[in-house]
Structure 1
């Protein structure tokens, strides 16, 4: 899902002095993997950023010199989705579980039950556990989930304006149309200005500039991706009055929930000139195909299995899912990230004649 993905992958770090770090992990219940893969983003432990760590009797440990606080993705054998742990100096004790996600075909997911360490480390885990709880409620839209998480993150940003986690949160949540650009600018103003001299701060400023590319009125550049049979499909070959580019993944709970809404919308507007093109962030074919069949998706499905490094994901600066872009017959953008009835309302207006 949108929030899942960015909380995992945002590249945040500090410029502070390297300190010793010890990450102690424990699997308390459910399936226990034989090893975990740990990837650091914009940070290293003793000069390395990727680790395969054996799990013995339900425990694993990673220690060394942390270059600076950063996000670590922990992936367990047999669970397709990583889980983020915020690394800071000192010792972090994290407890994990592998559970079956009810909105993603009950596939096994890795989650952190709790973590102890710095304020930022503990807050990150609390925030994600809240997200996990909200994402299991299939009646909640992505926008509604974002609004709930907003209540958690705003006090943290206000209380810790010099924290690089606060910078990450502003970076992440200013993407959401449910909060809006005004929200992002407001909470950017809370941040210590020295943060913007760091690489992650510069990334945020560059991101604001990049987001201008997906604006209403701009023409979408052509692209080519394979469909479910491997056949290449180009955007220019799709001829319809309006085309909805829908970005999703089989492992994204809110995406799967929104597939139900898209099915209704497609049935209602297909005869009036709407075509949907779904572009998946899946990295393997089987879960993608299974989700298409289970959700009853009858429109065009594309995927290059490169996830966030895919051609189109990079073209639109995709940072989170679900996400969509509505194009007219000339492939000009008429709507971006339409949520909570906005898509249907706009289509009603555009196709009323």
Structure 2
């Protein structure tokens, strides 16, 4: 008997766990005559994923695994409307899915459908903040304090932190979030960004990392210990980065014989390898180039250095200490003239 109830308990626990790790989106049109197809697309793990389902008797359903909030794009193409077969006539909207069941009640269109779930109610409140033109920082701060368990409080904190991540501005607010929010995947990533920003202030020792070069050989930042190194984050698709490359090249040529080098770290995706290599060749960059394509790796250079915008760079002295950040244009050569005798 004890064994029987133990099995029942395990079955119940496994079923509950499976339900907690799945999402279900149930859509219902007011008219049961609605027919057609609903498409879903979303960005995950560096790629765009797609799914679709038929509308039967005015209803449709999507179901799948979930590890937390996920923004998706929903499009309905009616079987009876010729216009809907063209891009111009499609009925689309963005929304969020989360573990559990979310319903979509559709009266006039997908765009105006009523959504259930805390995640979408929070998203609507957060969207209102983005429309504020004055005192936006104060609005984001108030939102975080009033909604410590909201997924979008982390999004608000990212806005507050800024492109070059000001840890001092957001760490006290982050500490006020609920444990559930801080321990979420996004919460842990944000904590890593705080740690990265604090660890890479001027005067700190530069965090070490390893990435592969253009030949697939692993290279460490510490391999360059004993030299002045400009750690330069960029990407082939980044216009401002490509515009800055000739200035970095000029500084490199002026100081390469004086114990100075550049170490490039591209954040290009793995499937953009050819574009990365072409950009290196086109811009004539002779220094070692590494690629950090896995943006989810908390030990990757981009996360260790809290990179939220590119171009970003760090000037590191021969002992491995960061002595300057985000030097642009002539500022790089002026700093090198100051420190290299």
CA change 1:256–1:294 in 2 (3 A) is farther
Q: Secondary structure at the match of 2:153?
A: helix
Q: 2: CA distance between counterparts of 1:92 and 1:122?
A: 15
Q: Does 1:158 align with 2:142?
A: yes
Give unmatched runs, 5+ long, in structure 1.
Answer: 1-16, 25-33, 41-49, 75-83, 94-112, 131-147
Q: 2: CA distance between counterparts of 1:182 and 1:334?
A: 19
Q: 2: CA distance between counterparts of 1:23 and 1:152?
A: 35
Q: Does 1:54 align with 2:64?
A: no
CA change 1:318–1:236 in 2 (3 A) is same
| Aligned twin of 1:272 | 255
Q: 2: CA distance between counterparts of 1:194 and 1:298?
A: 48
Give unmatched runs, 5+ long, in structure 2.
Answer: 1-19, 28-38, 74-93, 106-110
CA change 1:265–1:39 in 2 (3 A) is closer
Q: Secondary structure at the match of 1:22?
A: strand
CA change 1:326–1:178 in 2 (3 A) is same
Aligned with 1:168 (options 147, 154, 176): 154
Aligned with 1:299 (options 270, 274, 287): 287
Retained in 2: the 8 A contact 1:266–1:275? Answer: no
| Per-residue deviation, residues 311-349 of structure 1 (Å, max 9, x unmatched) | 54377254534243221122222234x26x4x7536523
Aligned with 1:330 (options 319, 324, 330): 319
Aligned with 2:304 (options 316, 325, 344): 316
| Aligned twin of 1:289 | 277
| Per-residue deviation, residues 160-211 of structure 1 (Å, max 9, x unmatched) | 621624421244245437673443257558x6x5467752496355653454
Q: Secondary structure at the match of 1:351?
A: helix
Larger Rg: 2
Q: 1: CA distance between counterparts of 2:138 and 2:337?
A: 39
Q: How many residues align?
A: 267
Q: Does 1:243 align with 2:232?
A: no
What is the TM-score when the length of structure 1 is the normalising length? Answer: 0.53
| Aligned twin of 1:262 | 245
CA change 1:300–1:158 in 2 (3 A) is same
| Aligned twin of 1:22 | 25
Q: 2: CA distance between counterparts of 1:308 and 1:321?
A: 16
| Aligned twin of 2:169 | 183
Q: Secondary structure at the match of 2:270?
A: coil
Deviation at 1:223, TM superposition (A): 4.3
Q: Secondary structure at the match of 2:314?
A: strand
What is the TM-score when the length of structure 2 is the normalising length? Answer: 0.55
| Aligned twin of 1:138 | none
RMSD: 5.2
1:186-205 to structure 2, matched below 5 A, reads 188=174, 194=178, 199-200=183-184, 203=188, 204=190
Tell me which of the two structures has the higher relative contact order, counting C-alpha pairs closer than 8 angstroms and 6 or more residues apart. 1
Retained in 1: the 8 A contact 2:212–2:219? Answer: yes
